[in-house]
């Protein structure tokens, strides 16, 4: 008996996967941007999608956020949010993603005069239709923009009250500098009391990141941390993350824009220390890499084994905000896939 030679790219691409860190507005492809701009009579600075992509020049979080917020001005009507969501879920299903937890940034739209109802209704309808048509399941996480006030975050939580069954949790994203988790303690406590799950971004190499990670763990008591790679620099933080079996949603291609590496060494250290590290795409239309590409590039840079890949995919299902019975069904799907693909094959001389 011998094992079949393995094409790592197909192994990754065909595996059933979960994505836990993807910003809906970060999935806005230039072609859809142009179509919506034409429909809604919104002038764009560029003549073609290619020119728009050529202007994607990110080297840190603020330079990315500037382009990200400018991009979403084309989203006006319920159908626009529907189309954005349905297109992303179609792409995700084509990558064999079977489950998604999807961030959205309502304040980036209500501040432009788009109603909360318009945003969430468009997204929710697309989630239902994508599940029916493509079999991909998704849940929604409402993010607060951390450079805006805690009062604005609280107002948006109140706006969300009629739609609570459509949300699985709340998150915190955008510009981290001088906007620590503690600023939002009250709104996150209220969200917890409403039975929502909690997560917060601690982007790679941000100022005060270790203080922010500590606040996430001790003060806010989050259920997950988005990014959180710098926790490796503090053994006490890492131990807490490990003991609490907390998931970290790492985004390799996104990290490359900030630290010029896919953080594969850090991912390996996390695996070695039994941290529940997961791999995600963050803002795939802007970073030009969806989930499979993130895994494939990470595997190449860090020479991860098939077992490492399986572990990272399993981690995502383990820390997903689902019932244990649902998690176990997904884990069974992954192990069945791995068993089937990695099974030894008899050779002619066996
Ligand atoms: N909003 C969208 N993408 C983000 C990221 N990578 N970090 C912080 N906020 C974001
Ligand atoms: Zn993010």
Within a 10 A sphere around the Cβ of 268, how many other Cβ atoms?
16
169 lines ligand 1 (CB under 6 A): no
Residue 26 Cβ < 6 Å to ligand 1: yes
The two three-digit tokens of residue 40, written as one number: 């809604």
Residue 282 CA to ligand 2 centre (angstroms)? 5
Q: Is the CB of 80 under 6 A from ligand 1?
A: no
Question: Alpha carbon of 72 to those of 30, 34, 209, 346: distances in Å?
Answer: 11, 11, 28, 54
Tokens of 2: 């011998």
The pTM is what?
0.97
**Would you state the pLDDT for residue 68?**
97
Distance 300 CA to ligand 1 centre (A): 25
| 199 ligand 1 Cβ < 6 A | no
- pLDDT of amino acid 347: 67
What percent of the chain is helix, strand and coil (3-state, nearest 5)?
60, 15, 25
The CA dihedral of 13, 9, 312, 92, to the nearest 10 degrees, is -30
Quote the pLDDT of residue 350: 42
User: Is it the case that residue 3 has pLDDT exceeding 90?
Assistant: no
In our burial notation (b when 16+ CB lie closer than 10 A, e otherwise), range 234-261 reads eeebbebbeeeebbbbbbbbbbbbbeee
From residue 332, give the alpha-carbon distance in Å to each of 15, 165, 227, 279, 312: 12, 27, 27, 19, 15
Given a cut of 80, is residue 1 above it in pLDDT?
Answer: no
Ligand with minimal distance to 24 CA: 1
pLDDT value at 275 more than 70: yes
CA 280 to centroid of chain Cα atoms: 5
| Dist CA 254 CA 266 (whole Å) | 14
Atom 8 of ligand 1: nearest residue by CA position: 174
What tokens appear for 171 in the block? 């998150």
Domains located in the chain, CATH noted: 16-333 (3.20.20.140)
**pLDDT tens digits, one per residue of 233-270:** 999 999 999 999 999 999 999 999 989 999 999 999 99
Ligand 1 midpoint to CA 173 (Å):
6
Write the residue with the smallest CA distance to atom 6 of ligand 1: 282
Decide: 223 and 198 in contact? Cβ < 8 Å.
yes
- Render pLDDT for 17-52 as a digit per residue (tens, 0 to 9): 999 999 999 999 999 999 999 999 999 999 999 999
User: Is pLDDT above 50 for 2?
Assistant: no
| Ligand 1 lined by 103 (C-beta under 6 Å) | no
SS3 206: coil
Output 59 or 266, whichever has higher pLDDT.
266
Token digits for 85? 């969501």
d(CA 52, CA 30): 7
Q: How confident is the model at residue 5 (pLDDT cuts 50, 70, 90)?
A: low
State whether the beta carbon of 201 lies less than 6 angstroms from ligand 1.
yes
Proportion of the chain above pLDDT 70, given as a percent: 97
Write down the pLDDT at residue 349: 53
What per-residue confidence (pLDDT) applies to 187? Answer: 99
Average pLDDT over residues 278-287: 98
Using alpha carbons, select from 268, 147, 243, 256 the residue that is nearest to residue 204. Answer: 256
Least distant ligand from the CA of 172: 1
pLDDT at 346: 72
**Do 342 and 7 form a contact (C-beta atoms < 8 A)?**
no
Q: What's the rounded mean pLDDT across residues 179-208?
A: 98
């Amino acid at each position: 008996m011998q094992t079949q030679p393995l094409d790592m790219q197909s192994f990754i691409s065909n595996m059933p996967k979960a994505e836990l860190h993807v910003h809906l507005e970060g999935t806005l492809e230039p072609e859809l941007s142009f179509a919506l701009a034409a429909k809604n009579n919104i002038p764009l600075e560029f003549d073609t999608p290619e020119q728009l992509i050529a202007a994607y020049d990110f080297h840190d979080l603020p330079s990315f956020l500037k382009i990200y917020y400018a991009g979403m001005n084309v989203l006006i009507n319920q159908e626009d949010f529907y189309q954005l969501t349905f297109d992303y879920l179609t792409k995700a299903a084509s990558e064999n993603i079977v489950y998604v937890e999807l961030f959205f940034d309502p304040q980036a739209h209500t501040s432009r005069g788009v109603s909360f109802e318009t945003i969430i209704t468009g997204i929710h309808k697309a989630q239902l239709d994508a599940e029916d048509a493509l079999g991909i399941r998704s849940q929604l996480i409402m993010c607060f923009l951390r450079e805006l006030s805690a009062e604005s975050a609280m107002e948006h939580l109140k706006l969300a009250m009629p739609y609570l069954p459509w949300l699985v949790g709340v998150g915190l994203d955008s510009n981290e500098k001088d906007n620590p988790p503690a600023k939002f303690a009250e709104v996150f406590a209220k969200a917890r009391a409403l039975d929502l799950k909690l997560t917060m971004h601690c982007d790679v190499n941000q100022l005060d990141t270790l203080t922010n990670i500590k606040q996430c763990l001790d003060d806010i008591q989050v259920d997950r941390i988005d990014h959180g790679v710098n926790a490796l620099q503090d053994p006490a933080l890492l131990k807490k993350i490990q003991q609490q079996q907390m998931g970290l949603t790492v985004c390799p291609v996104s990290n490359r824009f900030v630290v010029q590496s896919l953080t594969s060494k850090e991912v390996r250290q996390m695996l070695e220390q039994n941290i529940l590290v997961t791999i995600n795409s963050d803002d795939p239309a802007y970073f030009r890499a969806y989930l499979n590409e993130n895994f494939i590039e990470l595997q190449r840079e860090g020479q991860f084994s098939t077992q490492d890949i399986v572990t990272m995919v399993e981690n995502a299902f383990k820390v997903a905000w689902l019932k244990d019975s649902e998690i176990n069904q997904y884990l069974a799907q992954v192990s069945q896939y791995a068993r089937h693909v990695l099974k030894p094959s008899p050779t002619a001389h066996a």
